[in-house]
């Protein structure tokens, strides 16, 4: 099987995102030994056993703490880096996977009672947005969509694109979109190497030496450059909101945010948006504090909400923006794990609001 540039960009983007959200409470599942009942190692990588089928798990995270009144959480991460917006077929596939897995009940030991062991969720990142039908289906079925177009991730996307191009050129790529001898059998060792270099490989799983990579020395130089560029971005934060999506929060100064949040684990914030064009909003959160802007967290909304706000003007636009804030963004919870577990609560103050 050969690999296209779009596919390789998606794989690299997935590994970069796994690094950037590494302290958001999820550990990677990479080997069947981490859960012999649910996971299997196959020739094409890790799979999860569902009720009716096995499901490929290229990037699968498990929340290291257990929320009350629910099962332990696992998260599929998929990234698309293509020209066209992600369509409904990708969301339909995600819905089918999580439904099959969440219906796969297991018997309790020494009893006949069938119980669900985990709750599986799914998030799709896209460098080119999502179609309206994809957004509507995702909202209806609880699949999280993250649009990277308007989130300040230009440097990340450029690094991914250049690394993919360099790798494909090394294997004799001829032109944009054409297949190459850089095949799928190379992807698993490539992922392992990236995870070890980025530090996302789980500590409790034996490190494997990716011996299947051809032209290893030259690839190592390309991958080292890519790893360094990803690490320069530092990290982003996951914001859990009261809507069926998550926010990728990019701080202007991550250390300033952590310093303020640790001193004020629960604090009031204002939410500000500026229209970038007829179809985009530049959004950010900042605390309501006497000091001028201790931090800013930038994010983007699902495109369907952005378009709904921007299709009107004047007072009606302000009212729609206010409605989105109060309905979906009234509480933003950020979980952070670095040696110890920390939980920050950002509470929207409706008395401070702005759309420009």
Predicted local confidence at residue 280, as pLDDT: 77
CA 54-60-66 angle, to 5 degrees, is: 110
CB count within 10 Å of CB 253 equals 14
Instruction: Give me the residue spans of the domains in the chain.
Output: 5-232, 237-355
Among 3.40.50.150, 3.40.1350.10, 1.10.3720.10, 3.50.50.60, what is the CATH number of 5-232? Answer: 3.40.1350.10
Note whether 273 and 282 are within 8 A (CB): yes
pLDDT along the chain (356 residues), means of 10: 85 96 91 94 92 95 81 94 96 97 78 76 93 90 87 89 90 50 72 93 78 57 93 88 85 94 96 80 89 87 86 93 94 90 94 57
How far, CA to CA in Å, does 349 sit from each of 81, 271, 344, 352, 356? 36, 8, 16, 6, 18
pLDDT at 151: 66
pLDDT of residue 305: 85
CB 49 within 8 A of CB 60: no
* pLDDT on residue 321: 93
Q: Cα separation of 123 and 83, whole Å?
A: 19
Measured CA to CA, the distance from residue 26 to residue 137 in angstroms comes to 26
pLDDT computed for residue 93 by the predictor: 98
> How many angstroms separate the CA atoms of 331 and 308, rounded?
21
pLDDT value of position 275: 82
**Gyration radius of the chain over CA positions:** 21
CA distance 155 to 161: 10
**Tokens 């997935």 belong to which residue?**
14
- Supply the pLDDT for residue 174: 39
- pLDDT for 4 equals 86
**How long, in residues, is the chain?**
356
Residue 204 half-sphere exposure toward CB, CA atoms < 13 A: 8
pLDDT at 352: 64
Query: Would you say 47 and 58 are in contact if contact means Cβ atoms under 8 Å apart?
Result: no
Cα(282)–Cα(300) distance, integer angstroms:
7
């Amino acid at each position: 099987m050969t690999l296209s540039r779009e596919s390789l960009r998606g794989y690299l983007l997935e590994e970069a995102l796994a690094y950037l959200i590494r302290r958001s409470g999820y550990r990677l599942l990479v080997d069947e030994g981490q859960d012999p009942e649910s996971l299997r190692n196959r020739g094409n990588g890790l799979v999860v056993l569902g009720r009716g089928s096995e499901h490929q798990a290229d990037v699968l995270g498990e929340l290291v703490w257990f929320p009350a009144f629910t099962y332990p959480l696992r998260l599929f991460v998929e990234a698309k880096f293509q020209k066209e917006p992600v369509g409904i077929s990708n969301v339909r596939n995600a819905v089918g996977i999580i439904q099959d897995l969440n219906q796969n009940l297991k018997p309790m030991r020494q009893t006949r009672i069938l119980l669900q062991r985990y709750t599986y969720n799914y998030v799709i990142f896209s460098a080119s947005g999502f179609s309206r039908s994809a957004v509507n289906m995702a909202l209806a079925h609880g699949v999280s969509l993250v649009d990277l177009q308007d989130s300040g991730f230009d440097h990340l996307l450029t690094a991914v694109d250049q690394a993919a191009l360099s790798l494909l050129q090394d294997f004799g790529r001829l032109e944009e979109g054409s297949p190459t001898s850089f095949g799928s059998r190379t992807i698993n060792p490539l992922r392992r190497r990236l995870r070890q270099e980025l530090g996302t490989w789980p500590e409790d799983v034996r490190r494997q030496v990716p011996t299947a990579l051809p032209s290893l020395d030259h690839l190592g130089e390309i991958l080292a450059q890519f790893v360094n560029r990803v690490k320069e971005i530092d990290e982003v934060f996951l914001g859990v909101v009261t809507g069926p999506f998550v926010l990728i929060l990019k701080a202007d100064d991550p250390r300033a945010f952590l310093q303020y949040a640790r001193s004020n684990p629960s604090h009031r914030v204002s939410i500000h948006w500026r229209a970038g064009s007829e179809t985009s909003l530049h959004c950010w959160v900042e605390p309501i504090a006497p000091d001028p802007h201790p931090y800013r967290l930038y994010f983007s909304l699902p495109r369907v909400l952005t378009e709904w706000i921007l299709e009107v003007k004047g007072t009606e636009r302000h009212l729609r923006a206010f409605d989105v804030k109060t309905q979906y963004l009234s509480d933003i919870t950020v979980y952070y794990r670095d040696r110890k577990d920390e939980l920050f609560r950002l509470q929207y103050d409706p008395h401070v609001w702005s759309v420009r």
